[in-house]
A = this chain, B = another copy of it.
Amino acid sequence: MLKISRLTDYGLLATVYLARKPGEVIAAREIAAFYHLPLPMITKVLKTLHAGGIVHSYRGSGGGYSFDGDPDVVTLGQIIETLEGPWDLVECESVDDAGHALCSIRVACPSRRMMFGINRAIKGAFEQVTLAELARGAMPSAVIDKHELSSPRVAERV
Instruction: Name A residues whose Cβ lies closer than 8 Å to a Cβ of B.
Output: 1-6, 9, 12-13, 16-17, 20, 34-37, 76, 80, 84, 87-92, 98, 100-101, 104-111, 113-118, 121-122, 124-126, 128-129, 133-135, 137-140, 142-146, 149-150, 152, 158
Contacts and interface: CB of A to CB of B under 8 A. Distances in A.
A110 to B, nearest CB: 5
B137 A129 contact: no
Interface centre among A80, A108, A124, by most chain B C-beta atoms within 10 angstroms, is A108
Given A90-B3, A90-B9, A91-B6, A144 B106 contact: yes
A108 to B, nearest CB: 5
Contacts of A124: 143-144
A3 B40 CA distance: 26
A139 B113 CA distance: 6
A67 to B, nearest CB: 13
Contact of A1 (B36, B87, B98, B134): B87
